[in-house]
A and B are shown apart, each in its own frame.
Chain A
Amino acid sequence: MSDLIYILLTLVCFIGLALLVGLIDRRLGSASTDPGPDRVTDQETVATVDAGSAR
């Protein structure tokens, strides 16, 4: 019985976290709405931050 309680507690926590992800995604608006996976040849873009705060 207590095993079930802890499993349910875990599931409730993770459902809450998933809802938090959804909530933030919705609040952040369409600019960052998931456009679906994008296949890339270079997994990461190494940026040049010359124009940033590197001055």
Chain B
Amino acid sequence: MNATLAAVLQIATLVAALTLSVPLLGRYLAHVYTSPRHLRAETVAYRALKVDADADQHWRSYAMSVLGFSLAGILFLFAFGRLQSLLPLDGGLDPLPSDGAWNTAVSFVTNTNWQWYAGEAAAGHLIQMAGLAVQNFVSAAVGLSVAAAFARGLARTRNQGRIGNFWVDLVRTTHRVLLPMAFVVAIVLVAAGVVQNLHPVHEMTTLTGGAQPLTGGPVASQEAIKELGTNGGGFYNVNSAHPFENPNPFTNLLEIWAILVIPFSMAWAFGRIVGDRRQGGAVLATMAALLAVGVTLLTWAEMAGPGTAPQLAGAAMEGKETRFGEAATALFAAATTGTSTGAVNGMHESLTAPGGGVALFGMMLGEIAPGGVGSGLYGMLMLAVVTVFLCGLMVGRTPEYLGKKISRDEIVLVAVYILATPILVLVGAAIALTAPAGLAGLSTDGPHGLSEALYAVTSASNNNGSAFAGIGSGTPFWNTLLGLLMLLGRFVPMVLVLALAGRFATANRLPASAGTLPTHRPLFIGLLTGVALVVVGLTFVPALMLGPIVESLS
């Protein structure tokens, strides 16, 4: 089949699948986050956790619950990594080094899933199942819970800063959303050929007489939640480029669908939670528009982009998922960097310079197209607040969003949110590119070397987890730097989002007036898209100029 036709059909199938599934899942998510009823299994969990499920938390209590839960997760996973060799199903693997165990613990708790190691060569079956996969569920649930709390904050009026109950949100998200969905997707993946077993490493003899270790494991179950929870990483080092993890075009498309379905559905759910579905539609349309631009540019860059080799070969084939065609890698790359997933089916190091730039830009946008589970929605809503604020300045009226006045305190919180991640990225890049230990991890110098470092710190700070594969990040310097960026990049924005949710929940709802900016119409979608691009452009274009843009021109 013609490559262009295959690319178009692939995208059309994905769009059709999302169009069918997003409204259904969005409606269900809204029900999960607004229903007053607790299921029996959940009640048992609350009793075991000694949680009063009917207690509504102030934003401060909610934030402290998020932090406490995540701290416990990091310490538990750190100990798991360090004690791996003493536990069953270790596969004969050594314990992770201190810096590596810490980086891994932070990485999975923050929903980043950056892997400094080759999955099959460092993590045994037990830590994969009882450590990493568990965090894949609960870290995704934390993100979704915070987004739900933010939506509630906008929906409530004079509620003294109360935005819900973190433990209820966490249990419901895990029990009612992620577990059932992951179960079904894992079964489908197994049926389609993805590996699921507890076998030790097999030594195979190749045709040339050489020995090759063949690693099986609980791959399908890990794969399902890592895509649905926009976690990323992979059981195998090459992620979905490995035939055991992604054996055919169907599983490839299913994995991309799994990456995108919950973030888009959360936008739909948002509209229902705030009582106006058009608001959710506007957010969803903005996400879709940004993703469409990313997919188009990345596909063009990889299929017809600049460079002697791509022109001669008809496309940039190096490092691509050649079983499914380069368009499949481009679509996967756009989906994984538009969300906070970070799983790959081709090596991003091998993307053309403009293609790599698009992937970088997708992360720099704050992963709002459609973003990580939960984090995509609240990231987009923060930009919506910036948009109404800027429009308010232009027409000289007090800005408001969904009837909530945006005054000095609110805009300070939003401004710090907008600045936090870029500061982490740019300061992190500066440290990495000036420290000898940082430079030692780069595979090359010049603009591509800068892109490697910039990509790594951007990926960590935005909790993405994908990497330019050339970078050697398994050193104490890189593990510590990236671990800090992941941790601060996850929880500083979350605290600010919850604080703003508390403010909104406390505030009155203003009546509409003739000067109120409608936030559900195409004009607002255009403004929001423009603000997202301009804010990121102004912040990151100088750094992009030195990396992918210079490389494209050279």
Contacts and interface: CB of A to CB of B under 8 A. Distances in A.
Interface of A: 2-3, 5-7, 9-11, 13-14, 17-18, 20-22, 24-25, 27-29, 31-55
Contact of B98 (A2, A37, A53): A2
Interface string B55-84: 111111101100100110011001000100
A53 B161 contact: no
Interface stretch (B19-27, B429-437, B496-504): B496-504
Contacts of B487: 10, 13
A22 B59 CA distance: 11
B56 A39 contact: yes
Nearest to B274: A49
Interface of B: 33-36, 52, 54-61, 63-64, 67, 70-71, 74-75, 78, 82, 98-99, 101-102, 106, 152, 154-157, 159-162, 164-165, 168, 272-276, 278-279, 400-404, 409, 413, 480, 484, 487-488, 491-492, 495-496, 499, 502-503, 506, 509-512, 516-520
Given A7-B78, A13-B487, A45 B155 contact: yes
Contacts of A13: 484, 487-488
Contact of B409 (A9, A28, A35): A28
Given A32-B160, A44-B33, 8 more contacts: A10-B71, A14-B67, A24-B413, A39-B56, A43-B34, A47-B157, A49-B403, A52-B509
A21 B67 contact: yes
B495 A17 contact: yes
Contact of A53 (B165, B409, B519): B519
B34 A46 contact: yes
B220 to A, nearest CB: 32
24 contacts: A2-B98, A3-B78, A6-B99, A18-B64, A20-B492, A21-B495, A24-B496, A25-B60, A32-B58, A32-B161, A34-B58, A39-B55, A40-B54, A41-B36, A41-B54, A42-B34, A43-B54, A46-B273, A49-B403, A49-B509, A50-B276, A54-B279, A54-B520, A55-B512
Nearest to B162: A38
Contacts of A14: 67, 70-71
A9 B403 CA distance: 42
A19 to B, nearest CB: 10
Contacts of A37: 52, 55-58, 61
Nearest to B74: A10
Contacts of A29: 409
A24 B74 CA distance: 25
A39 B16 CA distance: 43
Given A14-B71, A18-B64, A21-B67, A49 B276 contact: yes
A37 B520 CA distance: 34
Contact of A44 (B64, B273, B480): B273
A49 B54 contact: no
A7 to B, nearest CB: 7
A37 B33 CA distance: 18
Contacts of A45: 152, 155-157, 159
A7 B509 contact: no
Contacts of B58: 32, 34-37
A47 B274 contact: yes
Nearest to A1: B98
A50 to B, nearest CB: 8
Contacts of B274: 47, 49, 52
Nearest to B53: A43
Contacts of B98: 2-3, 5-6
B402 A49 contact: yes
Given A44-B34, A45-B152, A49-B402, A24 B499 contact: yes
A40 to B, nearest CB: 5
Contact of A47 (B56, B64, B275, B511): B275
B403 A52 contact: yes
B56 A43 contact: yes
B323 to A, nearest CB: 40
Contacts of B496: 24
Contacts of B403: 49, 51-53
B503 A53 contact: no
Contacts of A53: 279, 400-403, 512, 516-520
A25 B62 CA distance: 12
A10 B101 CA distance: 12
A18 B67 contact: yes
A51 B155 contact: no
B273 A38 contact: no
A9 B480 CA distance: 10
Contact of A28 (B74, B404, B503): B503
Contacts of A43: 34-36, 54, 56, 164-165, 168
A27 B503 CA distance: 12
Given A21-B60, A21-B64, A24-B496, A54 B276 contact: yes
